[in-house]
Structures are given as structure tokens and as C-alpha cells.
């Protein structure tokens, strides 16, 4: 049983999804989905434990030997990502039943859970597989289900956002497919481990350069790296709020994983960072992403838009850590992947609670909300502080590591710019907080000043995530240790 | 008694946090809530006195609480500078609470529970800062202090209060994030340590250009010390209720700022290194300019609280000058000035608040003749003004004396002229207020003076607080011995 | 002499032409790819965009299939007479990709149907205008 762990990750939700269709009763489907997602969480904990104890695990699918058959390979990086995805997915699912009550008609709720589980399958699959083509297939599974999930949004603009995302996402995925094809043509293998050994022989050919370019651009589309981010704000803003909470914490993180996996493991460090001016490109794109997206966030009226743009800015932070291309830089990126997943899921889930109670998505509707929903707003304040990077929250930990990495590398101006960009975060977070805490409630609403706190089924997951924001900001052992191990093994410092 | 100093230290760090929770729990019952606050203050004071006695007896108390990131830990230690700061603030916390009971109730402020709870959190941040053993701990609680005082500054919730809150948060957060954090990261990278150490932590091989930039970043980054040009938050924050102004100006915020600057100058750079850096001279000019300009601006202000706020900026400049000179007399002067200024300034703000609550006046031009109505308050104002100016028999004279000695020792003659000039300016903008209050004919005959009113003082609680702090100003002049010894011990260890 | 030189030039041209002709499958792939991509970008009609997307994806399938061909190789059916086979793996891969592409197209078409119901149009500009109007009306 234990030896099958790597594949069970993917199998469990994959089996649960059609079962959901058969059951077709939202309440039971919900319970089944939670069970499946919870199971993957337990499995990923076990995996992480095994990987830390005994090093990378491999699993041959169907018993076919590695370069021919599909291999699942779990090292520190995979295990870390698996843990993040399955944990966030489970916590978000806890809130799902209540949160979709008002946003998705009950006849479509079963489909919601099916799609949710399928996208979970896709993301877990991307992270656990060691085969380049398999990765593409899982990428499409997760993308297709995410288009469906976004289109479930109540607003008709959700359809339009889903369509735009579909076009962009498909182009991105096809680019990746072209890249994989070119690599296969040059090396005759699809196994990532095998690829990484054979690619150096043919590294200086135009085909490999082309493959690299296609894959990088394709991944960056999925990643919503500035300036390829156009699909993200609307997709996040108009999707059902529970879907936003889920995707903001997982989808872009998986894309970061793919980027790291291809550049570090498959193409190799020396090819990725010396043959091409990738470092400079990513640094510039990351910085401009931080500034442009943060400034855009400041001018948004829709609160979900504000935090969607903030996600793009935070992808900028991750990309900058990545572009430093040192162990410290990559550690910072991985830490921020973990930490950003925590803060954004907490924020969007709290927004889901607000939307559940009041339907408010625009900033002006947040006036005086602190009196109506004190606990929810307190959660938004804490998660917002984490987003800003206040000490004792996870945001501070990743900011600190990023700064150290930048200064170690000698990139002082970038460090200063990042801190300035950070100030913009303060501005847009504070707009929301000030609106909620220092304005009297809107008059046009019924004069009911009693508390209308969100139900516990929503509050509990929100506060679990907020508590995680603070806990992992104080007890950083787990996140830092695993992130460091992953970064070191990617640089070949440790096997 | 089985209480070890370590335990007491822990208790004194955590007590305000617990008090804050208890305050929120007792929110519905004002009397219980205030009783909780006062009890917490008293226990806190007891703990700190215990720590002081233990320190005098030669115990060294250190505490590593938690390792946050590898190599970065929350660690605490009891050293004289921190002890002075902690003792002063928690004593004044007690007094301010007494004052606030009178003030908040008679002013019928809303959200009083939020006020007391945030106040307690701010106090715990102060305790953590006071006993922090490294820059990292200081930074963390510096930010918490900023965030916990923000609701206090915009307490009123009016448009003006919100704007003040924005300026307050904007300046303090942005300087601390951009300058202070950057400086800490660079220090960590260059020196490999963030722990406070007597004589500094930098090796002799570090480039002096880099250190100069670092010192600039630190001094500007700790904007709570209100060195110009990052002083705007202080006058803006005067819209807050008077007890909050007292907290900002005397108990916690600005004092935490200069305290951190002192700590950095002494224990991160060290006096020798500081003296050798070219940028120190530039910063001295800046601090001197801060002293003079703020005094000049203060003279122009008609709103009493704004005038006092600029006076604070000017007085903080003194402390920064002492920290930058870093010879032993200057340090003693700076340290003592933290205490002396705290007592004097809190008295002045208490008086301003009392005038506001009782006579509903906030402008200096409305105050002539007020001495008949509020004799005690105005007398207290007079004594506290003397202490700010530095005239015996008030505590301020000692700190200014030592600061001048320090300036002479450093042979910075021009600074002596600046300090003298500033004292003159202090006289010009402070003394006329109480003098005109008692002798309305002295300055102008035209001003419609307040006459014919019976004596009507501030609420009893507030008046008591004013009397205690005024007494403190005088007692500190008569018995400066303990404070002086502690101040001397800062560099002596 | 002149004739000789001309002959050399012709030779060079011929060989270049042959080289290009030898890669003709790639030229087909690239022209299809660019056609599809251009349609996606330039056309405002949502259905046309999907057509473009399908052409774009098809070009990649052709790319995979053509690269599997081994010169002189025959279909990969085990037979003792045959010594050289074409590579079957890309075919298998592309079967999967085709399934994915069909799913994508179906989903996209379904979305367009819903968009038509909701917005009453399948033209990008009109929909965009409606979206913007919605935004302005609600945000103030």
C-alpha cells in the first residue's frame, strides 16, 4: 500500500469524481468530495514524511520500466507542492457547501464538485508525474475543469471570462505541447529524468532553443506572468467565490512548479540561465508585474479584482526569487508559493463569507462591514496584514528571505524596488480595511444594525487559514526546511 | 519568594497582552474594565521594580523565547537602558489610565473598550521593544506598535481623524518597510548578527561608505524618532484624544523611536565607529536643524496640541543628538531626557486635554485669563514648561545639563549654540501660555479674556494624574541619583 | 564560362530547394500554425476564434505525426520481413492530444452557446462593450 502512495494521490480524486456524478445529491457529493480531498491530504503528508526521511520516491505506472513507461517521481519539491494543494483544497471544500448555496443553483452543484475534483486531479497529477507528456495531459484536465468552474459564476461576465481564459489557456498548453514534441524529436524520450541526461548533448541546436522558448512562454501564460496576465483578473473576479479561493491558492502555484521543473530539472541550470538572458527577462517582467499589477489593484472598485491583481503582483515576487537563480532565491520563491497560497485562500474565502451574507463585491458596499461581520472582517485584516508582510505573519517570512537572497546576490536596487512595491500593497489593502472599519454602514440597506456574522461553516475554514497564516509566520520550521531542501536538491547541492 | 527574575521578565512581557484580552472580555462593564487596566498597570510596575532590584543586585536576566527563522530569534535581556524605558512607560501607563478614566468619560468618547485594549497591546509592544536583545525583535514589535496605535489615532472616526490615521500609518509603515527593514537585512548580511552588543557588531573591515548608508537608513527608518523630514505624522496625529497623544508623545511611540535610535547607535554601531563615520556629522546637522526648525514652527501654531507636537519633535532632536555624539555625558543626557521629557510632555498634554474637556478651548489665543478658572492645571503647565526648557527646580535641567556637557566633550561648539538658542525658543513658545493665563494683561489688553468664572477644574481622576506627573518633574530634580546611576551603567556593562 | 556559372547557381538553388522541400512537413505545420494563431488573434467572432484554435492545435498534431515517420520505415506491425518501423509512440501521444482538443472545442462551443444566451451576441466587441457598461454602472 505504502509503495503505491505516489499514484494514489491522483487515483483517489479521479475515482471520486464519477462517483459524485452517480450520487448526484449535493450534500452527499460534498461529503464524498471532502473525503477524497482529505484523503489526498493525508497521503501527501505521508509522502512528505517519506521523502524527507528516505529521499525521492519513484513509482512506475503499470509496472513499465522508467524511460518507456510513465514514471511518477516525488522529490522534495513535488511533496511540498502536493501538500499545499491538497491542504488548501480540503480546507476550501469545507466551506464549499455553504458558500455555493447562493451562488450556484442546486441542480448544478453536483457538477461543481465533479469539476472541482477533476481540477484537483489535474493539479496533483501535474505535480506528481515525471513524464513530460503526461504533464501536458494533466495540465489540460485541470484547465478544462477550471474553465467549467469559472463559467459556473452567477454573473454573466463569468462566461466571458471563462471563454477568454479558455483561449489563452489552450494556446499556452499547445505551446507546451509543441515544446515537448520538439524535445522528444531531439532526444527520443519523454521521461524528465531521462530528458535531463540526454538534452545536454544536443543543447546547442536550434530545435532545443525553440522547444525551450515554446515551453517558457506556454507556462508563463498559465502562470499569468505580466504581461500575459490578462485572463486572470476577470476569471478570478467573476468565478464563484469559492472557486476563486481555490484557484488563487493552487493554479498559479502549479504553473510555478512546472516552470521550475522544466528549467531546473529538465533543461538544467546551466542551459536555462547561461544560454539565454532568462534571468534578466524574468527580473524585469517580475518587477514590472509587481508595480503595474499593484497600481492596477489600487484603482479597482471590485474587491475581488483588487485581490486578483494582487495575485499577479505576488507572482512577480515569486518570479524575482526565481530569477535570482541561487539556492536562497529559489527557497524564497518556494516559501512564497506556500505562504501566498495561505494568505490568498484566507482572503478570498473571507470574501466568500462576505458575499454569502451581503452579496457585496464592490468597495463601497464594504462600508461599516466591521460592525456587521466583525469576525470575518478581522480575518480579512489579518490576512491583509499577511499580504503586506507584517511581522509574525507568513508574508514577512517570505519577504525576509527574498530580501536576503537579493542582497546576497548584490542586487540592491531590486531589493529597494521590492520594498517600494510592498508599500503599494499597503495602499490597496488599507483601502478595504478603512472602508470596512472607519465608515458608517450604508444607509440604503435595511436599518438592521444587528450582527450578521457569516455561518460557522464558513467562518471556521476562514479562521483555520488565518490561524495558519500566523502559525507558519511564527513556527517556520516546516515551511523553511522543506523549501530549503527542495531548492538545494534542485541545485544539486544535495541529493 | 520563588519568582525568579526570568519568570518576572516573562510576566512583564506578557501581562499587557493578557490585560488586553481581559479588557475585551470585560468590555460591557466600564468599571470592571478600568479596574482590570489599573490592576494590570500596578502588577506591571511591581514586576519592573522587582526586575530593577534584581538588576541592581547583579543578576543578569536573559531569555530566548522563540527561534522564528534560522538564526533569527526573539530574545530578551534586561539592561539598564531598557529598564529605564520600561519603568518610565509603565509608570506613565498607570497615570495615563487614571487620566483617561476622567477624560474619556467626561468627553463621552465611543469605543472605549477598543481604546483600552489597543492601549494595552501598544504597551506590550513597548515592553517587548524595551527588553529586546536584537534588532529583529525590535523590528517586529516596532511594527506591532505602529499597527496597534493606528486605531487609537483615528479613534474619532471623523474625516480628519481618518486622514491623520492615513498619514500616521503611511509614514511610519513606509519608512519602516523601506528603510528600517532594508537596513536590518543589510546588517544581517554584513555583520552576520543582529544582537545588540556593547561596542557594536560590525568588524573593522566593513566599508565606511556602506556603514554610512546604513546609519542613514536606520535613523530615517525609525521614523518614530521624528527626525525631520519624516516628522509629519506627529503633528497630524494630534487629532487623537488626549490620552492617545500622551501615549504617542510621552509613553510609547516617540520614546520607542528614540530608544531604538539610542540602542542602534550604541549597540549596533558603537561610539567609536560612530565618531569615525563622516555621515554622523551630517546627521548631527539634520538633528540640530530639526531642533531649531520644529521650535520655530511651534511658535507659529495657535492650536495648543499642534504646538506641543512640534515641541516634541524639537525635544526628540536633543535625544538624537546625544545618541549620535555617543560620549558618556551625552548618553547620560539623552537617557535622562527620555524620562524627563516624558514626564514634562505628558503633563503638558494632560493640561491641554483638561482645558479641552473643561473649558472647551483648544487654541492658545483663547487661553489668557484661564488661570483663574483652572489654577491647578495652569500651575502644572507652568512647571512642566520649565522642565521642557530646562530650568531648575525641574528634572529637565539635569538632562540638558548632561547633554551640554556631552556637546562640550565632543568639542562641537556650534551645537552648544544651537541648544542654547533652542532653549530660548522653548521659553518663547511655552511660557507665555501659563503666564497669560494668570496675568491676562501681560501680553495683550485687547484679547477677550476669560473672567468672572468660578474655579472649575478637570475631572478628579484627570486632575490627580496631572498632579502626579507634575510632582514627578520636581521629584526627578531632587532625586536624580537612581536614574543617573542607571544611565551611567548603560555603557559600563 | 557563363553557362558553367549559371549551372553552379542552378545547382545551389536546386539543393536549397530540395532542402526546403525535404522539410516540407514542417512548412505545412508552421503555415497552419500561423494561420490558426492569426485567426484567433484577429477575428472578433467567437466561433471563428474557436476554428482558428482548432487549426492551431491540428498543426501540432501533424507535427507529431510527421516526425514519427522514419525514412523507409513501415507501419509498426510486427512482421519478420520488415526491418525498419516507423515510431508508433507519437501517434499514441497525439491520439490523447486529439481527445483533449475535442474536449476543448466542445467546451468552447458550449460556452459560446451560453454567451449567446446571456449577452445576445457572439461578437467580441459587442460583448466587451456590454461588460464595460456593466462595470461602470455598478461600481459607483
Give the residues across from A362 on adjacent strands.
A302
Chains touching chain B at 3 or more Cβ pairs under 8 angstroms?
A: A
Residue C1 has pLDDT above 70, yes or no: no
> Which span out of B20-34, B339-353, C10-24 was modeled with the highest average pLDDT?
B339-353
Q: Are B224 and B173 in contact (CB under 8 A)?
A: no
Instruction: For A440, name the nearest residue in chain B, comparing CA atoms only.
Output: B157
* Lowest-confidence pick of A403-417, B156-170, B200-214, C14-28: C14-28
> Which pLDDT tens digit goes with each residue over B378-425?
888 888 998 888 888 888 888 888 888 888 888 888 888 888 888 889
Report the residue from A419, A434, A438 with minimal CB separation from B177: A419
H-run or E-run covering C95? helix C89-119
Q: How confident is the model at residue B227 (pLDDT cuts 50, 70, 90)?
A: confident
Residue B493 has pLDDT above 50, yes or no: no
Query: Going by beta carbons, is chain A in contact with chain C, meaning 3 or more pairs sit under 8 Å apart?
Result: yes
Give the residues across from A211 on adjacent strands.
none
The alpha-carbon gap from A92 to the nearest alpha carbon of chain B, in Å, equals 28
> Which pLDDT tens digit goes with each residue over C33-79?
999 999 999 988 999 999 999 999 999 999 988 888 777 777 778 87
Round to whole Å and give the CA distance between A115 and A96: 13
Residue B131 has pLDDT above 60, yes or no: yes
pLDDT of residue A247: 92
Whether A465 and A481 share a structural domain? yes
Domain region containing A331: 277-495
**B44 within a domain of the structure (yes/no):** no
Round to whole Å and give the CA distance between A486 and A334: 8
Round to whole Å and give the CA distance between B93 and B86: 10
Considering A275, A294, A310, which residue would you say is the last residue of a domain? A275
Chain A with chain B: Cβ pairs closer than 8 A? 64
Low-confidence spans in chain A with pLDDT less than 50 = 447, 495
pLDDT of residue B270: 85
Round to whole Å and give the CA distance between A10 and A123: 9
DSSP state of A72: E
Round to whole Å and give the CA distance between B250 and B311: 12
Dihedral, CA of residue C76, residue C82, residue C86 and residue C88, to nearest 10: 20
> Which pLDDT tens digit goes with each residue over A459-472?
899 999 999 999 98
**B413 within a domain of the structure (yes/no):** yes
Measured between beta carbons, the chain A residues lying within 8 angstroms of B180 are none
Closest CA to C49 of C117, C119, C125: C125
pLDDT of residue A474: 85
Q: How many CA atoms lie within 13 A of A338 on its CB side?
A: 34
Q: Are A211 and A169 in contact (CB under 8 A)?
A: no
Whether A283 and A269 share a structural domain? no
Closest CA to B135 of A412, A393, A400: A400
Whether A257 and A342 share a structural domain? no
* Lowest-confidence pick of A19-28, A283-292, B229-238, C128-137: C128-137
Residue B338 has pLDDT above 50, yes or no: yes
Task: Tell me the domains of chain C and their CATH numbers.
Answer: 2-139 (1.10.287.3510)
| CA B95 vs CA B152, B470, B472, B476: distances in Å | 18, 11, 11, 16
Is the bond preceding residue B175 a cis peptide, omega within 30 degrees?
A: no
Q: How confident is the model at residue C90 (pLDDT cuts 50, 70, 90)?
A: confident
With helix as H, strand as E and coil as C, how does A280-341 read? Answer: HHHHHHHHHHHHHHHHHHHCCCEHHHHHHHHHHHHHHHHHHHHHHCCHHHHHHHHHHHHHHH
Residue B265 has pLDDT above 60, yes or no: yes
DSSP B34-102: HHHHHHHHHHHHHHHHHHHHHHHTT---EEEEEEEETTEEEEEE--HHHHHHHHHHHHHHHHHHHHHHH
Closest CA to B109 of B150, B139, B152: B152
Whether A250 and A318 share a structural domain? no
Whether A116 and A176 share a structural domain? yes
Percent of chain B residues past pLDDT 90, beyond the cut: 1
User: In chain A, how many H helices and how many E strands?
Assistant: 20, 2
Q: Are A223 and A340 in contact (CB under 8 A)?
A: no
Q: Are B350 and B462 in contact (CB under 8 A)?
A: yes
Whether A321 and A246 share a structural domain? no
Report the residue from A148, A160, A302 with minimal CB separation from C107: A148
Q: Considering Cα of B248, then B249, then B252, then B258, what sign does the dihedral take?
A: positive
H-run or E-run covering A263? none
- Are C57 and A144 inside 8 Å of each other by CB? no
Q: Considering Cα of B172, then B173, then B175, then B181, what sign does the dihedral take?
A: positive
Whether A286 and A337 share a structural domain? yes
Whether A417 and A349 share a structural domain? yes
Residue B445 has pLDDT above 80, yes or no: no
Report the residue from A390, A408, A430 with minimal CB separation from B143: A390
Residue B33 has pLDDT above 80, yes or no: yes
Report the residue from A159, A177, A301 with minimal CB separation from C111: A159
Within 10 angstroms of residue B180's Cβ, the number of other Cβ atoms is: 27
Within 10 angstroms of residue B216's Cβ, the number of other Cβ atoms is: 17
What ipTM score was computed for the predicted complex, to two decimals? 0.88
The alpha-carbon gap from B157 to the nearest alpha carbon of chain A, in Å, equals 6
Considering A247, A275, A303, which residue would you say is the last residue of a domain? A275
DSSP B342-383: HHHHHHHHHHHHHHHHHH---BGGG-TTHHHH-HHHHHHHHH
Whether A211 and A246 share a structural domain? yes
| CA B256 vs CA A188, A485, B88, B310: distances in Å | 66, 39, 11, 18
* Lowest-confidence pick of A257-271, B94-108, B328-342, B438-452: B438-452
Q: Does B182 touch chain A (CB under 8 A)?
A: yes
pLDDT of residue B437: 82
- Are A144 and C104 inside 8 Å of each other by CB? yes
| CA A119 vs CA A13, A122, A125, A165, B42: distances in Å | 9, 5, 10, 15, 58
Round to whole Å and give the CA distance between B487 and B83: 10
> Which pLDDT tens digit goes with each residue over A332-346?
999 999 999 999 999
Within 10 angstroms of residue C37's Cβ, the number of other Cβ atoms is: 17
Q: Are A254 and A85 in contact (CB under 8 A)?
A: yes
- Are C118 and A185 inside 8 Å of each other by CB? no
Whether A44 and A130 share a structural domain? yes
Domain region containing B435: 277-493
Round to whole Å and give the CA distance between A141 and A115: 10
Whether A145 and A123 share a structural domain? yes
pLDDT of residue C140: 47
CA B241, distance to chain mean position in Å, is: 17
Whether A114 and A247 share a structural domain? yes
Measured between beta carbons, the chain A residues lying within 8 angstroms of C67 are 181, 184-185
> Which pLDDT tens digit goes with each residue over B70-83?
777 888 888 888 88
Q: How confident is the model at residue C91 (pLDDT cuts 50, 70, 90)?
A: confident
Report the residue from C57, C64, C131 with minimal CB separation from A160: C131
Chains touching chain C at 3 or more Cβ pairs under 8 angstroms?
A: A
pLDDT of residue A313: 93
Q: Are A433 and A367 in contact (CB under 8 A)?
A: no
Considering A242, A275, A308, which residue would you say is the last residue of a domain? A275
pLDDT of residue A477: 84
Number of separate domains in chain A? 2
Number of separate domains in chain B? 1
C74: helix, coil or strand? Answer: strand
Residues across chain A: 495
Amino acid at each position: 500500500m505504502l509503495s503505491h502512495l505516489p499514484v494514489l494521490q491522483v487515483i483517489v480524486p479521479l475515482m471520486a469524481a464519477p462517483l459524485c456524478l452517480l450520487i448526484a445529491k449535493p450534500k452527499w457529493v460534498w461529503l464524498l468530495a471532502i473525503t477524497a480531498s482529505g484523503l489526498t491530504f493525508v497521503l501527501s503528508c505521508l509522502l512528505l514524511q517519506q521523502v524527507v526521511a528516505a529521499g525521492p520516491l519513484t513509482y512506475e505506472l503499470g509496472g513499465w520500466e522508467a524511460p518507456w513507461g510513465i514514471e511518477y517521481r516525488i522529490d522534495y519539491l513535488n511533496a511540498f507542492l502536493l501538500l499545499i494543494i491538497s491542504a488548501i483544497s480540503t480546507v476550501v471544500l469545507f466551506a464549499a457547501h455553504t458558500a455555493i448555496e447562493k451562488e450556484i443553483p442546486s441542480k448544478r452543484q453536483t457538477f461543481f464538485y465533479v469539476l472541482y475534483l477533476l481540477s484537483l486531479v489535474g493539479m496533483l497529477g501535474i505535480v506528481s508525474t515525471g513524464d513530460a507528456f503526461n504533464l501536458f495531459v494533466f495540465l489540460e484536465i485541470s484547465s478544462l475543469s477550471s474553465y467549467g468552474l469559472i463559467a459556473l459564476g452567477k454573473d454573466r461576465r463569468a462566461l466571458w471570462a471563462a471563454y477568454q481564459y479558455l483561449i489563452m489557456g489552450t494556446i499556452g498548453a499547445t505551446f507546451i505541447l509543441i515544446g515537448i514534441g520538439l524535445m522528444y524529436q531531439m532526444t527520443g524520450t519523454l521521461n524528465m529524468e531521462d530528458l535531463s541526461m540526454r538534452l545536454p548533448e544536443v543543447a546547442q541546436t536550434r530545435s532545443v532553443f525553440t522547444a525551450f522558448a515554446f515551453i517558457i512562454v506556454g507556462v508563463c501564460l498559465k502562470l499569468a506572468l505580466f504581461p500575459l496576465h490578462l485572463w486572470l483578473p476577470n476569471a478570478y473576479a467573476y468565478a464563484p467565490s469559492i472557486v476563486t479561493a481555490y484557484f488563487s491558492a493552487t493554479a498559479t502555484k502549479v504553473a510555478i512548479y512546472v516552470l521550475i521543473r522544466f528549467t531546473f530539472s529538465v533543461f538544467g541550470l546551466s542551459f536555462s540561465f547561461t544560454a539565454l538572458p532568462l534571468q534578466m527577462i524574468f527580473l524585469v517582467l517580475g518587477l514590472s508585474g509587481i508595480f503595474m499589477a499593484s497600481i492596477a489593484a489600487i484603482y479597482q472598485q471590485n474587491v475581488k479584482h483588487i485581490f486578483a491583481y494582487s495575485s499577479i503582483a505576488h507572482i512577480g515576487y515569486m518570479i524575482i526569487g526565481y530569477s535570482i537563480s541561487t539556492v536562497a532565491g529559489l527557497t524564497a520563491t518556494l516559501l512564497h508559493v506556500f505562504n501566498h497560497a495561505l494568505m490568498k485562500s484566507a482572503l478570498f474565502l473571507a470574501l466568500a463569507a462576505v458575499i454569502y451574507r451581503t452579496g457585496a463585491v464592490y468597495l463601497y458596499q464594504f462600508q461599516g462591514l466591521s460592525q456587521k461581520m466583525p469576525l470575518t472582517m478581522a480575518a480579512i485584516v489579518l490576512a491583509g496584514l499577511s499580504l503586506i508582510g507584517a511581522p509574525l505573519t507568513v508574508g514577512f517570512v517570505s519577504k525576509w528571505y527574498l530580501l536576503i537572497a537579493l542582497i546576497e546576490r548584490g542586487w540592491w536596487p531590486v531589493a529597494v524596488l521590492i520594498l517600494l512595491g510592498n508599500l503599494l500593497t499597503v495602499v490597496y489593502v488599507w483601502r478595504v480595511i478603512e472602508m470596512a472599519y472607519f465608515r458608517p454602514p450604508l444607509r440604503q440597506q435595511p436599518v438592521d444594525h444587528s450582527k450578521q456574522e457569516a455561518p460557522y461553516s464558513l467562518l471556521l475554514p476562514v479562521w483555520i487559514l488565518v490561524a495558519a497564516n500566523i502559525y507558519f509566520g511564527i513556527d517556520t520550521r516546516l515551511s523553511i526546511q522543506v523549501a530549503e531542501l527542495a531548492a538545494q536538491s534542485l541545485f544539486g547541492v544535495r541529493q | 519568594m520563588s519568582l525568579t527574575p526570568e519568570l518576572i521578565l516573562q510576566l512583564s512581557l506578557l501581562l499587557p497582552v493578557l490585560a488586553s484580552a481581559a479588557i475585551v472580555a470585560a468590555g460591557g462593564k466600564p468599571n470592571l474594565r478600568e479596574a482590570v487596566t489599573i490592576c494590570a498597570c500596578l502588577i506591571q510596575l511591581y514586576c519592573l521594580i522587582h526586575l530593577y532590584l534584581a538588576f541592581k543586585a547583579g543578576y543578569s536576566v536573559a531569555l530566548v523565547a522563540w527561534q522564528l527563522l534560522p538564526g533569527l530569534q526573539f530574545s530578551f535581556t534586561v539592561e539598564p537602558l531598557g529598564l529605564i524605558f520600561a519603568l518610565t512607560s509603565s509608570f506613565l501607563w498607570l497615570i495615563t489610565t487614571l487620566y483617561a478614566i476622567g477624560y474619556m468619560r467626561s468627553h463621552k468618547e465611543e469605543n472605549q473598550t477598543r481604546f483600552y485594549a489597543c492601549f494595552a497591546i501598544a504597551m506590550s509592544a513597548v515592553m517587548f521593544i524595551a527588553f529586546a536583545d536584537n534588532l529583529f525583535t525590535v523590528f517586529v514589535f516596532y511594527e506591532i506598535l505602529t499597527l496597534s496605535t493606528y486605531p487609537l489615532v483615528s479613534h474619532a472616526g471623523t474625516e480628519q481623524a481618518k486622514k491623520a490615521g492615513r498619514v500616521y500609518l503611511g509614514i511610519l509603515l513606509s519608512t519602516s518597510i523601506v528603510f528600517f527593514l532594508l537596513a536590518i537585512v543589510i546588517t544581517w548580511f554584513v555583520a552576520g548578527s543582529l544582537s545588540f552588543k556593547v561596542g557594536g557588531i560590525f568588524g573593522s573591515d566593513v566599508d565606511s561608505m556602506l556603514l554610512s548608508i546604513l546609519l542613514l537608513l536606520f535613523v530615517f527608518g525609525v521614523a518614530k524618532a521624528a527626525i525631520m523630514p519624516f516628522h509629519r505624522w506627529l503633528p497630524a496625529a494630534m487629532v487623537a484624544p488626549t490620552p492617545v497623544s500622551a501615549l504617542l508623545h510621552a509613553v510609547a511611540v516617540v520614546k520607542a523611536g528614540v530608544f531604538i535610535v539610542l540602542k542602534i547607535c550604541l549597540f549596533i554601531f558603537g561610539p567609536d565607529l560612530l565618531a569615525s563615520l563622516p555621515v554622523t556629522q551630517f546627521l548631527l546637522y539634520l538633528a540640530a536643524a530639526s531642533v531649531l526648525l520644529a521650535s520655530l514652527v511651534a511658535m507659529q501654531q495657535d492650536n495648543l496640541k499642534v504646538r506641543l507636537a512640534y515641541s516634541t519633535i524639537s525635544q526628540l532632536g536633543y535625544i538624537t543628538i546625544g545618541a549620535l555624539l555617543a560620549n558618556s555625558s551625552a548618553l547620560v543626557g539623552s537617557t535622562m531626557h527620555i524620562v524627563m521629557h516624558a514626564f514634562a510632555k505628558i503633563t503638558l498634554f494632560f493640561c491641554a486635554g483638561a482645558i479641552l474637556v473643561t473649558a472647551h478651548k483648544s487654541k492658545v489665543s483663547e487661553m489668557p485669563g484661564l488661570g483663574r478658572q483652572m489654577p491647578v492645571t495652569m500651575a502644572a503647565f507652568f512647571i512642566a514648561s520649565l522642565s521642557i526648557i530646562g530650568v531648575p527646580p525641574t528634572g529637565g535641567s539635569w538632562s540638558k545639563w548632561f547633554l551640554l556637557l556631552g556637546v562640550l566633550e565632543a568639542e562641537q561648539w556650534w551645537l552648544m549654540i544651537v541648544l542654547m538658542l533652542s532653549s530660548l525658543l522653548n521659553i518663547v513658545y511655552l511660557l507665555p501660555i501659563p503666564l497669560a493665563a494668570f496675568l491676562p494683561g501681560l501680553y495683550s489688553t485687547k484679547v477677550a479674556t476669560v473672567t468672572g468664572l468660578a474655579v472649575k477644574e478637570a475631572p478628579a481622576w484627570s486632575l490627580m494624574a496631572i498632579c502626579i506627573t507634575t510632582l514627578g518633574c520636581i521629584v526627578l530634580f531632587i532625586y536624580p541619583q537612581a536614574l543617573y546611576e542607571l544611565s551611567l551603567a548603560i555603557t559600563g556593562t | 564560362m557563363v553557362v558553367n556559372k549559371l549551372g553552379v547557381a542552378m545547382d545551389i538553388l536546386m539543393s536549397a530547394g530540395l532542402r526546403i522541400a525535404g522539410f516540407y512537413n514542417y512548412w505545412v505545420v508552421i503555415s497552419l500554425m500561423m494561420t490558426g494563431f492569426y485567426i484567433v488573434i484577429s477575428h472578433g467572432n467567437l466561433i471563428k476564434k474557436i476554428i482558428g484554435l482548432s487549426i492551431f492545435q491540428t498543426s501540432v498534431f501533424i507535427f507529431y505525426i510527421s516526425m514519427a515517420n522514419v525514412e523507409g520505415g513501415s507501419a509498426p506491425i510486427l512482421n519478420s520481413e520488415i526491418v525498419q518501423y516507423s515510431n508508433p509512440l507519437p501517434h499514441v501521444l497525439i491520439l490523447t492530444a486529439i481527445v483533449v482538443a475535442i474536449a476543448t472545442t466542445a467546451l468552447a462551443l458550449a460556452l459560446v452557446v451560453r454567451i449567446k444566451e446571456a449577452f445576445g451576441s457572439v461578437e467580441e466587441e459587442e460583448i466587451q462593450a456590454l461588460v464595460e457598461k456593466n462595470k461602470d454602472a455598478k461600481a459607483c
